[in-house]
Structure 1
Amino acid sequence: MSRLRRPPLPLALLSLALCQTQGAWAQQSWIDTPLVLQRTPQLAETIPNAERGLRPSFVEGDRISGRPNLETVIEGNGSIRRGDTVIRADRLEYYQPDDLAKANGNVRVNQAGNVYEGPELQLKVETFEGFFSNVRYQFLETGGRGEAERIDFIDSNVSVARQATYTTCRREDYPGWMPAWLLSAATLTTDTEENIGTATGARMSFMGITTPPLPSLTFPLNNQRKSGILPPVFGVDSVNGTEVLLPYYWNIAPNRDATLYPTLMAKRGINLGTEFRYLENGYAGTIRADYMPADTLRDRDRWGLWTRHNQSFDPKPFGLDSLSASLRLNRVSDNDYWRDFSRTPTLSSRLLDSEGSIDWSRGDWSGRVRALSYQTLQYTLSPITPPYDRVPQITANNTQYDWNGFDVSTSLDYTRFRADRQYAPLLNGQRQPDGERAFGILQVSRPWITPASFVIPKVQLHATSYQFDAPLANGANSASRTVPTFSIDSGLVFERDASFFGRAFRQTLEPRLFYVRTPYRDQSQLPVYDTAANDFNFATIYTENAFSGQDRISDSNLLTAGVSTRLIDPDSGEEAARFGIAQRFRFADQRVTLPGALPVTDRLSDVLLGAQINWTSKWTLDSTIQYNPDERRSVRSTLSGRYNPGSYRTINAALRYQADSTPLVQDGSKSIDIGFQWPLNDLWGDKGKNLGPGKGEGGGRWYAVGRMNYSLKDSKLTDGVIGVEYDGCCWIGRVVLERLTTGQVTANTRIMFQIEFVGFASVGVGANPMGTLAQNIQRYQPLRTPGERPSRFTNYD
């Protein structure tokens, strides 16, 4: 069965966050934990008790004596094997009528990979009932181990240890056998069927510091989810005062769970939050709600609601090939919510979209019916223009390839646009009215494609009709427009064998010409509902329309010329490098523009130059330059690179430059973005070990982690995360400092501390501070990630 997955997070993890901010404390949201759908990997099955009794027993030793069907005595290197259970000892006595084994001297029991060792054992082999005195034990799945005065085996799944200890620290990592952390308990009950350990009268010791006795606590015996208190987070904030977050995780069912996270803010009050996740065969989703009654600082109630739901329908009605639906809600109580409660998803955007849609397909046809509405969180220091709501939008599309040699596509759309007139954009001196727009696009192309060339002529007809709720500046309540377009895309591909720096390649040379002709149609009176100017890049320079959206169709008489070359590994087919250059030639001045924009009159556009180099899997370099030949300067450039030589080693860097719009001003926006994860032990020659994915590189290793976005123009850090991680084999420590800008003049700064006890208490990707690292650092790898459950044969006797 597919399952939701959230890493188990029991009580014994301490996560401390002290914050000193100029605004609200920006903490990662629990809803940011990704919804991972996966089939739970199964442990190589233990043998059921009913089947265990039907299996034969095998005995061996230096000397064997006894009476048939009564008892067997084995002396010297004795062993009894039945199914997945092996008992070894200096002396073994097995009484067949009672199915009772008695073992003395160097006793070792291996039960499905779990190992118990001690001086004396009594055990009913079939039901696995009995006791073990002065025992040492080790569990296969977590690597956890410990000692007990006595273990009572209730059955093959449940055991109770008296005066027991538990840790995942290994003796070989601590020569003096002083584990970094140790759980001591009066009783320790383990249930391998439920994968839960329960300790009573428990104390937790870490680095010599011991907690007061706890009446009871539970912990996982594997990487599966379990109910329990999540790691608490403590904070001190200059606005909110002392903050205490104590979440509780409820594992309702394999396909449902919930998280309750009450937060006490000394200066605000109590924020009550909950998140519910569900997964069924035909649908899945997440519901999150926060509520703070009577916020003391704002003197009002505060709330937020975020939902996600996706559903597929089967059987499908009306002969459809597919039918699905989705729902997304994002709403908060007020404009200040994104700054005051930055622990929520609202932090990432001040445009909160809510959308419901139904998608369908049948044969060559596909379509959608949707409603899209925005809540815009206005901020006096940084106001924004909200987009138009679409209530509703209905689309239908048809695409047919190779229809008598032609490719034919049709797009139909009806949309009702609505916006707050207070913030609606101006058109010819007055606010744009709400309205309805219907359009149809017919495209017909005839491709001629060979291995060495392609020619694709295409004709397009775009027809649009508007109905407005209020008259335009010219008094019209309706408008229409029909625009034809002709384009032809062509190119050649040349290849040759080449060698660079002693490496053989297949090199290509690919010239390309793209011509587009669209006649002028006056569109200056038409409103702008969903249209913006296209960015100037290698993708848009070969397109017919200079605008995205459907409210403006650019008049064009353009020819784009470009050439690229690629270096391809002849053995693997991988692309090692790509270089390209392109420029647009304009034969007539642009006349169709967006409101307030100036027409383009230059006959030659800026020159685009690009390069992408993947010489090896370790190195990647990508750069784009937009060069203005008239001003003889670069108006925009981006240079990014990545070095990733192995696990837990990655450096990402990007340099971005955007020139000022005024040619005489040589200043502009300049920033550098650097992210990294790197073992500090490499600096003194300790390269570590490759222990496999999600297992780190060995104990005693330090890792530097961070990401910094620095404005060279303003000489200041805009956003930054920097920290260190320490892998102590059975525990991981993290210290992370984060600065996050939430407005033009406000920023949050916090420092986070975290201790993770490996195999006992772990933190998911969405929790702090590991979630902060995962979201900010490209290719960041957690030092521990849940892997496949081990087979019992990995510890086979």
Structure 2
Amino acid sequence: MHAQAQEAVSQAAAEQAVKTADESLPGLQLKSSTLLQESYPQEVRDQQPIYIKGDNLSGQPDIKASVHGEAELRRGDTMIRADKLDYAVPDDKVHAVGSVYINQAGNVYKGTTLDLQLDAFVGQFDNANYRFLANGAYGDSSRVDFIDKKHAVVHDATYTTCQRDDEASWEPSWVLKAKTIRLDMAEEVGVAEDAKLQFKGVTVLPVPRMSFPLSDKRKSGLLPPMFGMDNLGGFEYTQPYYWNIAPNRDMTLWPTVMTRRGVNLGTQFRYLEPRYSGEAYASYMPSDKLRDRERWGYSWQHRSIIDSPIGGLGLNFNLNRVSDDDYWRDFRLAPVALRQRLLPSTVNLSWAKGDGVLSLNMLRYQTLQDPASPIAPPYSIVPQLQYRYTPLDLPHGLDFTAVADTTRFELIRPLAGQVGNNGQRSYVQAQLSRPFLSPGAFITPKLMLHSAMYQTDQLMSNGSKSANRTLPTFSLDSGLVFERDTSWFGKNLLQTFEPRAFYTYTPYRDQSMLPLYDTARNDFNFASIFSENDYGGQDRIADNNLLTLGATSRFIDPSTGAEKLKLAIAQRVRFSDQKVLLPGEVPATSRFSDVLLGAAVNWTDKWSTEATTQYNQDLNRTVRTTATARYSPGNYRTFNIGYRTQYDTVARTDASKLVDVGWQWPINDLWGDKGKDLGPGRGQGGGRWYAVGRLNYSIKDRQLVDTVIGFEYDGCCWIGRVVLERLQSSIIQSNLRLLFQLEFVGFSRLSFGADPTSSLKQNVPRYQYLREAVTPPSRFTNYD
């Protein structure tokens, strides 16, 4: 049972990982091969009876039936209505004339004359128009040739998803006109020949042959081209091609021509299986005129579970490499993993058995340097062997955890002047605690023991290549919970008052000679202030003798359990000076730490505010403040604002002051047109404008850092977008792009520049697509 549950969870995690791997392809989601379903058996459908009715019925049993006046024939998922209908039983053929109407599994056809072999669904329908259930698309034709229930050929055809209104002069905003359209309902693909795509009466895409989707199902073929211009590549043309290899595998290729730089070839491959999944990206530019060299980059993420005689094994890796230091700023369309200056490549092999997990890890960094802002490369792990033991259901309510770890650290390509000392670090850490819990109080004593050994390649500051350190730590965490009924503004609430006291003691050991492999000071916040060690990592164990006092008060809706208001305060009291420091740190001599104050208000589902501030009593001022507010009254209506400030206590000046504003909002609201809430992925009705964007402004520098401003217009069956994007890539350099997109809903997108929706989704908090894939309708949605 445990193995089955683990497999199900792993499979779900793999599917979710691949589903979210590429936000730029909404709707193109893989399905695990074990989830594919078989079609309904044909032999069952062949046994379905035929029902006929009308005003007048004549004929011979088992030979022929003729129906006049509101004639109707039904068999399975097919229904035919006409003024007159003849059915030949031996041949299973239907001949219908006069206002002929067909509903075949929810797809509707209307015409003048029908000749159809019913069981095989082979025949001809003259002067027919049609409407498809999956996407609401419809059109007219001179003739429809039915090949079978899943295939048809439409002659002199039109195709659009624009919904008609009542005006006699109405014309669809966009329409595809073709000599023939071949419809494949099995693959949900249409192929138009001698076609032209018209928008507002103007031909925007004349093509001799093109394929297009009849639903949100993935299909192979050329994707709409992208044209654009930016300050790095000049004029750009990209022609993507999508290859639907299988339901659980696909690949996208996108060659790009840049007038200022050359040709760039990019590809992405995704795969999903019950026990493994992943995605791989690669790009290659043989000769980039901008940097006068070849450029390349790749990123590969893989997750898997391996069956073995010794138990469950897991293999995961995440590989990221690029050709040069400027890649992150020159290729803004690369995956997020390659658009940063510190590129990690990791490999993890793990084995789980009982209460223990054994893992072997490798981690190497590629550091992309900027002469104007160099960064010190971190140590690489080559390799790490770790065993973690966490037994469950110990007697007497005890909790125990033990970790044994040995790691080899190496500094790869250090920065000029950077001093490193490669070496091996081994440590064992054990902790034992016993929580005592009651409805109104808790107390948790904890004992920890940390023992580490170092073997370095170079001499440490004490003149030795080896060192040992063993430190015990004791902590006691305790708190009370008081509750009372209250009311605010006529609303009944449950108020809590939760005082908390946390004491920790670790004796002093001189650790100044030890190298710093993976250690840094923790951020000072409500989580770290109630912790035993001020440092993250294993190279420094702070000598603490301190008490943290704090209190939290919550106002809770008793009917729903929702937290409406939260207030918190915390401060440390230090009984002795801390002697263990990182290089360059100034020892804290004050007996009282900065005061942390926090508040969060969620009075309604529409409003949300949160703020945290750090107050320094010696300076008598705040040294750091973070505040955010969100107003989201409904779908496609969201406004976010954030304020962050950091004060340099050494230089006694502001280190940074930033305001971050993001929004998505219907402009029609300004003149009282509130639209309709059709739900996420469906917009708020046609004829509506939306403003969307994000501004990141530095108050200290008095300039915009990042800017994304766009407008969207929902024409019901088409969506237009224009986005101006300016993103800072260094202190003195930024990338500027102007993006256009014309989306024909249920048909295709024409993008001029990179896909604007990818930029909006990445930069604008809580941005929603105006159209997203929804659950396909059942044939009973359009049941006659």
Letter in 1 for 2:390: T
1:253 aligns with 2:240: no
1:531 aligns with 2:519: yes
Equivalenced residue count is: 768
Which of 296, 301, 314 aligns to 1:324? It is 314
1:87 aligns with 2:75: no
Match of 1:356 in 2: 347
Unaligned runs of 5+ in 2: 1-10
Shift, 1:285, TM fit: 1.1
Match of 1:277, SS state, is strand
Match of 2:3 in 1: none
1:269 aligns with 2:257: no
Match of 1:302 in 2: 295
Question: For residues 754 and 373 of structure 2, what CA distance do their matches in structure 1 show?
Answer: 30
Question: For residues 398 and 491 of structure 2, what CA distance do their matches in structure 1 show?
Answer: 42
Match of 2:558 in 1: 570
Shift, 1:474, TM fit: 2.6
Are the equivalent residues in 2 in contact too, given 1:42–1:789 (CA < 8 A)?
Answer: no
Question: For residues 742 and 767 of structure 1, what CA distance do their matches in structure 2 show?
Answer: 17
Question: For residues 32 and 423 of structure 2, what CA distance do their matches in structure 1 show?
Answer: 48
Question: For residues 619 and 206 of structure 2, what CA distance do their matches in structure 1 show?
Answer: 75
1:497 to 1:370, Cα distance in 2 relative to 1, 3 A: same
Which of 395, 416, 419 aligns to 2:386? It is 395
Which of 682, 685, 702 aligns to 2:689? It is 702
Question: For residues 505 and 446 of structure 1, what CA distance do their matches in structure 2 show?
Answer: 34
Match of 1:343 in 2: 333
Match of 2:771 in 1: 784
Which of 373, 378, 381 aligns to 1:382? It is 373
1:4 to 1:582, Cα distance in 2 relative to 1, 3 A: closer
Letter in 1 for 2:440: A
In terms of mean alpha carbon deviation, does 772-781 or 507-516 score higher?
Answer: 772-781
Shift, 1:385, TM fit: 0.6
Aligned counterparts, 1:537-548, within 5 A: 537-548=525-536
Match of 1:740 in 2: 727
Which of 461, 468, 475 aligns to 1:473? It is 461
Match of 2:148, SS state, is coil
Letter in 2 for 1:287: A
Question: For residues 136 and 38 of structure 2, what CA distance do their matches in structure 1 show?
Answer: 18
TM-score between both structures, scaled by the size of structure 1: 0.93
Deviations 1:689-748 (A, max 9, x none): 122331111110111111111111111110111111111111111111111000011011
Shift, 1:33, TM fit: 4.9
Match of 2:408 in 1: 416
1:395 to 1:336, Cα distance in 2 relative to 1, 3 A: same
Shift, 1:36, TM fit: 4.6
Shift, 1:347, TM fit: 5.3
Q: Percent identity?
A: 52
Letter in 1 for 2:625: S
Question: For residues 310 and 81 of structure 1, what CA distance do their matches in structure 2 show?
Answer: 51
Are the equivalent residues in 2 in contact too, given 1:43–1:792 (CA < 8 A)?
Answer: no
Match of 1:60 in 2: 53
1:457 aligns with 2:449: no
Deviations 1:531-580 (A, max 9, x none): 00111100000000011001000011101000111111111112111111
Shift, 1:762, TM fit: 4.9
Match of 2:218 in 1: 225
Deviations 1:761-792 (A, max 9, x none): 1599x961001111112221101111111100
Which of 749, 762, 769 aligns to 2:736? It is 749
Are the equivalent residues in 2 in contact too, given 1:44–1:790 (CA < 8 A)?
Answer: no
Are the equivalent residues in 1 in contact too, given 2:128–2:144 (CA < 8 A)?
Answer: yes
Letter in 2 for 1:704: A
Match of 1:773 in 2: 760
Shift, 1:517, TM fit: 0.9
Match of 1:433, SS state, is coil
Match of 2:601 in 1: 613
Question: For residues 767 and 242 of structure 1, what CA distance do their matches in structure 2 show?
Answer: 12
Question: For residues 421 and 120 of structure 1, what CA distance do their matches in structure 2 show?
Answer: 78
Shift, 1:31, TM fit: 8.4
Aligned counterparts, 1:81-160, within 5 A: 81-160=74-153
Aligned counterparts, 1:282-293, within 5 A: 282-293=275-286
Which of 649, 659, 664 aligns to 2:637? It is 649
Letter in 2 for 1:353: P
Match of 1:404, SS state, is helix
Deviations 1:401-460 (A, max 9, x none): 54333211111111100003643886xxxx231000001111111211111111111111
Aligned counterparts, 1:533-682, within 5 A: 533-662=521-650, 664-665=652-653, 667-682=654-669
In terms of mean alpha carbon deviation, does 358-367 or 124-133 score higher?
Answer: 358-367
1:663 to 1:371, Cα distance in 2 relative to 1, 3 A: closer
Unaligned runs of 5+ in 1: 9-28
1:37 to 1:152, Cα distance in 2 relative to 1, 3 A: closer
Are the equivalent residues in 2 in contact too, given 1:390–1:417 (CA < 8 A)?
Answer: yes
Shift, 1:115, TM fit: 0.4
Letter in 2 for 1:394: L
Question: For residues 353 and 577 of structure 2, what CA distance do their matches in structure 1 show?
Answer: 44
Letter in 2 for 1:512: R
Shift, 1:173, TM fit: 7.6
In terms of mean alpha carbon deviation, does 417-426 or 681-690 score higher?
Answer: 417-426
TM-score between both structures, scaled by the size of structure 2: 0.94
Question: For residues 171 and 98 of structure 1, what CA distance do their matches in structure 2 show?
Answer: 39
In terms of mean alpha carbon deviation, does 342-351 or 718-727 score higher?
Answer: 342-351
Are the equivalent residues in 2 in contact too, given 1:5–1:225 (CA < 8 A)?
Answer: no
Are the equivalent residues in 1 in contact too, given 2:226–2:750 (CA < 8 A)?
Answer: no
In terms of mean alpha carbon deviation, does 194-203 or 46-55 score higher?
Answer: 46-55
Match of 2:540, SS state, is coil
Are the equivalent residues in 2 in contact too, given 1:4–1:256 (CA < 8 A)?
Answer: no
Are the equivalent residues in 1 in contact too, given 2:348–2:359 (CA < 8 A)?
Answer: yes
Match of 1:170 in 2: 163
1:762 to 1:771, Cα distance in 2 relative to 1, 3 A: same
Question: For residues 632 and 763 of structure 1, what CA distance do their matches in structure 2 show?
Answer: 57
Match of 1:691 in 2: 678
Deviations 1:49-74 (A, max 9, x none): 54443211111111111122221111
1:270 to 1:604, Cα distance in 2 relative to 1, 3 A: same
Question: For residues 17 and 228 of structure 2, what CA distance do their matches in structure 1 show?
Answer: 24
Deviations 1:667-689 (A, max 9, x none): 44111111111111111111111
1:737 to 1:752, Cα distance in 2 relative to 1, 3 A: same
In terms of mean alpha carbon deviation, does 574-583 or 344-353 score higher?
Answer: 344-353
Question: For residues 492 and 34 of structure 2, what CA distance do their matches in structure 1 show?
Answer: 43
Letter in 2 for 1:569: D
1:7 to 1:74, Cα distance in 2 relative to 1, 3 A: farther
Deviations 1:266-313 (A, max 9, x none): 222211222111111211111221111132332322211111111112
Match of 1:193 in 2: 186
Question: For residues 302 and 671 of structure 1, what CA distance do their matches in structure 2 show?
Answer: 35
1:658 to 1:763, Cα distance in 2 relative to 1, 3 A: farther
In terms of mean alpha carbon deviation, does 613-622 or 414-423 score higher?
Answer: 414-423
Q: CA RMSD in A?
A: 2.5
Match of 2:202 in 1: 209
1:186 to 1:50, Cα distance in 2 relative to 1, 3 A: farther
